[in-house]
Amino acid sequence: MLSNKQEKSLPYAIVIGLDTMQGLQAARILAGHGIPVIALVGDPTHHACHTRVCEKILNVDTTGRELITVLREMGPSLPAKAVIFPCHDQSVRLISSHRDELADWYHVVMASPEVMDTMMVKQRFYELAEENEVPFPQTQVLESRAAAERAASVLGFPCVVKPVQRSSRWDKMTMVKAFRVESADEFLELYDRVHDWTPALMVQQWIDGTDADLYSCNCYFDRESNLVASFVARKLRQWPPRTGSSCLGEECRNDDVLTQAIRIFESVDYVGLGYIEMKRDARTGIHYAIEANVGRPTGRSAIAEAGGVELL
């Protein structure tokens, strides 16, 4: 049960995945606006769990059915309908697919399950980009060693290997989102090492450029699919270099990135928080769609907040 103080408070923000960079950022931002936060974490030993901005931190498997069970048990004790902020892809998928079970106690601000699946599975996202005439890197899906061998014989190098859909096993095995490989031998060696971390891998053309050629557009669309806020930024450095997460970035203006990202989102009547990353080819100036992150805060939340765009 919640304390008397909590019972008199504003509706809660439920931050799922405090034990991530974007989860800790979200909790700090929301608490900074006077919004009470309850956090759910899979790893209670994570450094983010030492934060003092949350009124309660619950240890729960945020990647499995237990998450839905805990939310259902907690729902009736909340003083008002809370807003859910899933902060990693596994929790986004769970909340999206079980949204009807949670509707009595929580606001789930997401596009339809079909749209969420389209945006979260990379090859389907690239099909959507193609439909909207947004360039994307040449890509092949690798579902077997034979497919990897065929790809190795025709690929140009360097290239990038990444999961079609990140799994909890992938995240347990590495913090790297993608691997850059320089040769066919290195590519096949990597395939043998990581292929069972995820249901399917993909290999993708490397777009020439530096970390500072990576741009992103963060958006928020209301329940009627109206664009409420947008924020464009670019990376300056990332860790690991070339294929990692931003560790230094800046707000910027890039109308190509903004226009193409909004075109993709509007084509599917998108709802909620959305992010599309694009890379500018240093040789041609063309911007290529790299990936989408949907239904959750991203690492750009803090820089957007500092720039006056209150995405969360």
- Give residue-wise pLDDT tens across range 155-205: 889 999 999 877 788 888 987 888 999 999 999 999 999 999 988 899 999
State pTM to two decimals.
0.88
- Closest by CA to 37, choosing from 50, 52, 22, 20, is 52
Tell me: cis bond preceding 240? Omega within 30 of 0 counts. yes
233 pLDDT above the threshold of 70:
yes
- First CA to last CA distance, the chain: 27
DSSP state of 242: T
- Judged against a pLDDT cut of 70, whether residue 1 lies above it is answered with no
- Amino acid present at 90: Q
For the CA atoms of 21, 212, 185, 152, the dihedral, rounded to the nearest 10 degrees, stands at: 100
In the chain, what percentage of residues exceed pLDDT 70? 97
CA distance 290 to 276: 8
Once rounded to an integer, what is the mean pLDDT over residues 107-125? 95
Among the listed residues 133, 127, 187, 185, the one whose alpha carbon sits nearest the alpha carbon of residue 162? 187
Tell me which residue of 47, 50, 16 sits closest to 30, measured CA to CA. Answer: 16
Q: Indicate whether 3 pLDDT > 80.
A: no
**Low-confidence winner among 10-19, 213-222, 233-242 (lowest mean pLDDT):** 233-242
Ramachandran region of residue 210, left (φ > 0), alpha (ψ -120 to 50) or beta?
Answer: beta
- φ, ψ of residue 97 in degrees (nearest 5): -80, -20
- The answer, yes or no, to whether the previous bond of 158 is cis (omega within 30 of 0) is yes
Q: Give the pLDDT confidence score for residue 9 in this predicted structure.
A: 65
Give 215 or 154, the one with higher predicted confidence: 215
- 168 within 8 A of 63, measured Cβ to Cβ: yes
At 5, the pLDDT band (50, 70, 90 cuts) reads: low
Q: What pLDDT does 55 receive? A: 96
Between 244 and 286, residue with greater pLDDT? 286
Q: Report the length, in residues, of the chain.
A: 312
Residue 82 tokens read as: 């809370």
pLDDT of residue 2: 47
pLDDT at residue 243 tops 80: no
**Paired tokens of 44:** 């209670």
Percentage of the chain beyond pLDDT 90 is 81
Rounded Cα distance between 156 and 40, Å, is 43
Which of 4-8, 140-144, 223-227 reaches the highest mean pLDDT? Answer: 223-227
Q: What is the pLDDT of residue 82?
A: 98
Range list of H helices, 174-220: 184-194
Residue 137 has pLDDT above 80, yes or no: yes
